[in-house]
Amino acid sequence: MMHLIKLELKKGKMTGFLWGSVLTYGIMIGFLLLIYMVEGSSQTDPVFVSYEEMLGLIDTLVRATFIIYASALLSRLIISEFRDKTMALLFTYPVNRKKLIFAKLSIVFSWTFVNIVLANAIMGALFLAVNTKMGYVDDTITTELLYRHGAHVVMHAIAAAGMSLLPLAVGMRKKSITSTVISSVFIVMVVCSNNMGFSLSSIIAIPLSLGVLGVLLTYLSFRNIDKVDAA
Amino acid sequence: MTEIIRTRLLSKSYGKSDVVTNVSMQVRKGEIYGFLGPNGAGKSTVMKMLLNLVKPTGGEIELFGERLMPTAVEPLKRIGQMIETPVFYEKLTAQQNLELHAEYMGYYRSGAIKEAMEMVQLRGVEGKPVKQYSLGMRQRLGIARAIMTKPELLLLDEPINGLDPEGIQEMRVLFRRLRDEYGITLLISSHLLAEVEQVADTIGVIDRGRLLQEVSMESIRRSTTNYIEITTSDPKLAAYVLEDKLKLRNFKLAGGNALRVYDASVTPEELSKGLILNDVPVESINRRHHSLEDYFLELTRGGGSHDAFNQAGA
């Protein structure tokens, strides 16, 4: 299995995705700094009143970004392989088709999970550090807060990684890259939107069950892959 | 195990349209099997079924003496293939494409890539991305990929498409070499009779999804007889003279003003002398060869004329 994953990375030229990820980090940091600097200084209606809110915003932004990012990965690794007929080529190899697909999916799943956790850690630390200098948010860091937020991030990252597979079930029907990406944006809008401090993802059961649904639907899309015509 | 491929009543239909119907073919070890048929006859579909890419709706397949199960992948290790136009990872170089192929096939002999590229006469282009390749180069690279693992069985679908005459000649030599030096069994499809005729040991003719005939080239060559054709304005008189005066039995009226004499013991000179002495007006006498083309055209005409095939054979 590790061999298959390595081969996927080799042919996908994954360095491109690595740089894309770095760039995304940069953009997110810039965006958050902008919010922090512009909004944070206004004393009348502060955007963050506590660290919990600040870290929550970072988490939401990171998740939204990497769910969409995952749809680009899915397009590259699965949808376009079907469209370019290279999938049929892969199916002429003495490798179980389910294993081939599973290798690709596990790349997307773990990529999304790792990036969400990592980005949260980096940006959370960065903004806590910035705030100790600037002091726009009047709050204290407690170990309890960090533990609670850490657990929150990991749970949501797992859920988001599962959810990130949802667009595949949509995109696979017509082997369309566009519908894959659009459905990922749609998922983000539904799950990560924030309405007066309430969002669907604040009830952990919702993102978690969506994550399970993502894995389940993906499983169903490929359940019969080795019993159907491939070309 | 003398048969590498054996199919029994193999069929495939999509909804109501039958693409392949009851094909029972046998490909023996170490031979070149020419799979001949017009475009859309079902050649590619049969090959895809041998690779498990397309699942049969009826019948069964035996590869290497074992029944091919619908989810089996093990036999694929022993098969090299190029079906329809070869597909590559366009952005990767030829070298990288072949490296990937070797990895997925589980084949790790160093030098195999270089050797395969040389066998198909692709030199100095292994570092180029495949998207810059011409049609003919792609075809060669596809063949290189198929043969680089030295498989026991090679399935090549229209392998000479897009090649120039010189390239076609080179491939012909290569196919024979693969058979003779490496003992590879080849199944080569084509819609061009002339192509198949020159390399195949056995020919299977397929038309509209049905295998019409499976014959060895040797027996075809034996059965495609020579004859002498006589054109005359009075065929009746000529027939009388041939039978009564020259004592020939083995001839027939070929329609119009032509007669065909199949008796090998008589020469055109003797014939013309005998005919003229008996006052038969002879327009021409020619030694003719009943060609393979006629043979196959007769086969496929059985079910009505088929333009694509006629053109292809012409």
Question: What is the domain-level CATH number for residue B269?
Answer: 3.30.70.100
Lowest-confidence pick of A36-45, A91-100, B97-106, B155-164: A36-45
Mean pLDDT within B169-192: 94
Task: Write out pLDDT tens, residues B75-93.
Answer: 999 999 999 889 999 999 9
- If asked whether residues B101 and B207 sit together in one domain, one would say yes
Question: pLDDT-derived band of residue B308, with 50, 70 and 90 as boundaries?
Answer: very low
In a domain? residue A228: no
Contact A94 B89 (CB under 8 A): no
ipTM of the complex as predicted: 0.84
Whether residues B122 and B269 fall in one domain: no
A133 touching chain B per CB within 8 A = no
CB-based contact B73 A93, cutoff 8 Å: yes
Q: For residues B100-116, give the mean pLDDT.
A: 93
B87 vs A85: CB contact, 8 Å cut-off?
yes
Is some CB atom of chain B closer than 8 A to the CB atom of A93? yes
- Same-domain check for residues B147 and B256: no
B168 Cβ under 8 Å from any chain A Cβ: no
pLDDT at B34 over 90: yes
Give the mean model confidence (pLDDT) for residues B203-221.
87
- Find the domain containing B250 and state its range: 225-289
Number of domains in chain A: 1
pLDDT digit string, tens, across residues B121-135: 998 898 999 999 999
Q: Is residue B310 part of a domain?
A: no
Q: Residues, chain A, total?
A: 231
Domain identity same for B15 and B159: yes
φ, ψ of residue A203 in degrees (nearest 5): -95, 110
B77 close contact with A: CB closer than 8 A: yes
Structural domain including A36 reads 2-222
- Helix, strand or coil for residue A76? helix
Chain B neighbors of A225, CB-CB under 8 A: none
Counting every residue, how long is chain B? 314
Dihedral, CA atoms, A103, A108, A110, A116, nearest 10 degrees? 180
In a domain, B307, yes or no: no
Q: Do A94 and B76 touch (CB under 8 A)?
A: yes
Q: Is the Cβ of B74 closer than 8 Å to some Cβ of chain A? A: yes
pLDDT in tens, B223-245: 666 778 888 888 888 888 888 88
- Residue B200 has phi, psi (to 5 degrees) of -75, 150
Mean pLDDT by 10 residues, chain A (231 residues): 88 79 92 82 69 87 92 92 92 94 93 94 90 80 88 92 92 90 91 71 83 93 88 66
Residues B230, B278: one domain? Answer: yes
| Claim to verify: residue B192 and residue B130 sit in the same structural domain | yes
Same domain assignment for residues B41 and B69: yes
Instruction: Give the predicted TM-score (pTM) of the model.
Output: 0.80
Q: What is the interface size between A and B, counted as CB pairs within 8 Å? A: 59
Inter-chain residue contact B53 with A96, CB threshold 8 Å: no
Same domain (yes/no): B147, B180 = yes
Is there a single domain that holds both residue B173 and residue B158?
A: yes
Domain end among B168, B189, B221: B221
Instruction: Note whether B94 and B125 are within 8 A (CB).
Output: yes
B168 domain residue, yes or no = yes
Closest to B80 in 3D by CA, of B9, B174, B10: B174
Q: Would B305 be classed as within a structural domain?
A: no
Same domain, B195 and B234: no
Query: Do the domain assignments include residue B84?
Result: yes
Residues B139 and B233 in one domain: no
Position A92 in a domain? yes
Gap between the Cα atoms of B277 and B275, Å rounded: 5
Q: Are strands B3-14 and B17-23 parallel, antiparallel or unpaired?
A: antiparallel
Supply the pLDDT for residue B261.
Answer: 84
- CB-nearest to A95 from B55, B79, B104 is B104
Q: Read off the pLDDT of residues B262-279 as tens digits, 9 standing for 90 and up.
A: 877 778 888 888 888 888
A226 touches chain B (CB under 8 A): yes
Distances (CA, A) of A163 to A113, B216, B288: 11, 59, 75
Nearest CA in chain A to B88: A86
Residues facing residue B255 across a β-bridge:
none
- Model confidence at B45: pLDDT above 60: yes
Task: Indicate which CATH number applies to the domain containing B138.
Answer: 3.40.50.300
- According to DSSP, the β-strands at B32-36 and B185-190 are parallel
| CB spacing of B100 vs A10 below 8 angstroms | yes
Model pLDDT, residue A230: 81
Per CB-CB distance under 8 Å, the chain B contacts of A84 are 87, 90
- B131 touches A: beta carbon within 8 Å: no
Q: Which residue of B has its CA nearest to A229?
A: B54
Q: Does A34 reside within a domain?
A: yes
Sheet strands side by side (includes B251-253): B251-253, B258-261, B226-232, B282-289
Given CB atoms, is B179 within the 8 Å cutoff of chain A? no
Looking at the structure, tell me whether residues B139 and B17 fall in a common domain: yes
How many independent structural domains does chain B possess?
2
Q: Is B15 on the interface with A (CB under 8 A)?
A: no
